[in-house]
């Protein structure tokens, strides 16, 4: 089997663990958020070009790009969400509601709505035109780890290991699925495979859950990593998806049959030396970030 992923170079400059990454609309500009409280913009085609665009008040946990406004939304450890206007080069608003770490941000770019979830068990919808809270839902003691919007529903991965399905308009609970993962092992990431009508979930139990969205039946639980799975991303050609893990590795899987294809780690590929926290994939590159304070750009050989 030919190797799909080859290391191109590493981006260095952060002095703390890097927790999340985001692309601009053209997927050429990269934004990173680190525990050094810095947000840095990188040109992925030129490692010498990097710009500090913000230093936020609290550690950034998750970041999202809003294409329609050219904004960067930053969920922080103190519960705040910073709104950075990249055209103006400044923070224009701090959205305040959550009382704990903001783990999840999901943008509905067309409707200019932001959904946020945090360790306080609340999920909130924000009107990004008015920059104000629209509504909120208290899910109790459940930590909200990830939110994915599919059509008129929100799929919410929780700290209990359960997957909640909410109506996106009123945030009311429609369904709870608890068979995907080990109880009390958080679901950290979700990936929708539209052509199969399947949802993949990644958890602290190191397994990939495969859920049929027509029947809400668990089709499979795939042993994937030694520790927590923090992120999934699909290749631009739709053939593969990648999983990133606390076990310091990235794995590549074929979507047609969910078969493992390739492992990327320090030993085999000069990969990361610590937990891999987030990944992105554009046409030619896979990009990863880690607790080792590095971002690695990988060439994708189709």
Give the tens place of pLDDT for each residue, 65-91. 999 999 999 999 999 999 999 999 999
Q: Tell me: the pLDDT tens digits for 91-149?
A: 999 999 999 999 999 999 889 999 999 999 999 999 999 999 999 999 988 899 999 99
- Pick the closest to residue 144 from 154, 134, 157 (CA basis): 157
Identify the residue whose tokens are 């992925």. 44
Beta bridge partners of residue 166, listed in sequence order: 154, 173
Report residue 161's pLDDT band, with 50, 70 and 90 as the boundaries: very high
Report residue 2's pLDDT band, with 50, 70 and 90 as the boundaries: confident
Cα–Cα separations (whole angstroms), residue 21 to 63, 89, 233, 276: 7, 18, 12, 12
Sign of the Cα torsion 208, 79, 291, 54 reads positive
Rounded-to-integer distance, Cα 160 and Cα 158, Å:
5
Q: Tell me: the pLDDT tens digits for 266-300?
A: 999 999 999 999 999 999 999 999 999 999 999 99
Rounded-to-integer distance, Cα 138 and Cα 119, Å:
11
Predicted TM-score (pTM) of the model is 0.96
pLDDT at 47 over 90: no
Rounded-to-integer distance, Cα 61 and Cα 75, Å:
6
Rounded-to-integer distance, Cα 109 and Cα 156, Å:
19
283's tokens:
């046409």
Domains of the chain: 16-229 (2.130.10.10)
- Inter-residue contact 106 to 114 (CB < 8 Å): yes
Helix (H, G, I), strand (E, B) or coil at 269: helix
Rounded-to-integer distance, Cα 155 and Cα 207, Å:
18
- Inter-residue contact 97 to 133 (CB < 8 Å): yes
298's tokens:
């990988």
- Pick the closest to residue 115 from 134, 129, 142 (CA basis): 134
Would you call 47 exposed, middle or buried from its count of C-beta atoms within 10 A (0-12, 13-18, 19+)?
A: middle
């Amino acid at each position: 089997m030919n190797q799909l992923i080859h290391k191109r170079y590493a981006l260095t400059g952060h002095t703390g663990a890097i927790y999340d990454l985001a692309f601009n609309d053209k997927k050429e500009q990269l934004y990173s958020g680190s525990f050094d409280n810095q947000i840095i913009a990188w040109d992925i085609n030129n490692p010498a070009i990097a710009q500090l665009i913000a230093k936020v008040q609290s550690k950034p946990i998750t970041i999202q790009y809003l294409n329609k406004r050219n904004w960067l939304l930053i969920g922080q450890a103190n519960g705040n969400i910073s709104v950075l206007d990249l055209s103006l080069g400044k923070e224009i608003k701090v959205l305040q509601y959550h009382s704990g770490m903001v783990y999840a941000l999901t943008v509905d770019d067309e409707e200019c709505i932001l959904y946020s979830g945090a360790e306080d068990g609340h999920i909130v919808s924000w009107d990004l035109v008015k920059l104000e809270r629209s509504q909120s839902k208290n899910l109790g003691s459940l930590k909200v780890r990830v939110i994915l919007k599919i059509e008129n529903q929100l799929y919410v991965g929780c700290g209990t290991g359960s997957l909640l399905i909410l109506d996106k308009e009123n945030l009311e609970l429609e369904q709870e699925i608890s068979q995907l993962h080990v109880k009390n092992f958080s679901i950290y990431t979700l990936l929708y495979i539209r052509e199969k009508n399947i949802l993949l979930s990644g958890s602290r139990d190191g397994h990939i859950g495969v859920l049929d969205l027509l029947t809400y039946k668990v089709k499979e639980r795939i042993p994937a990593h030694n520790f927590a799975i923090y992120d999934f991303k699909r290749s631009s050609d739709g053939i593969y998806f990648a999983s990133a893990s606390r076990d310091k590795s990235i794995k590549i899987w074929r979507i047609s049959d969910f078969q493992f294809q390739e492992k990327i780690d320090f030993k085999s590929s000069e990969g990361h030396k610590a937990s891999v926290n987030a990944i992105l994939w554009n046409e030619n590159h896979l990009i990863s970030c880690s607790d080792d304070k590095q971002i690695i750009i990988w060439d994708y050989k189709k």
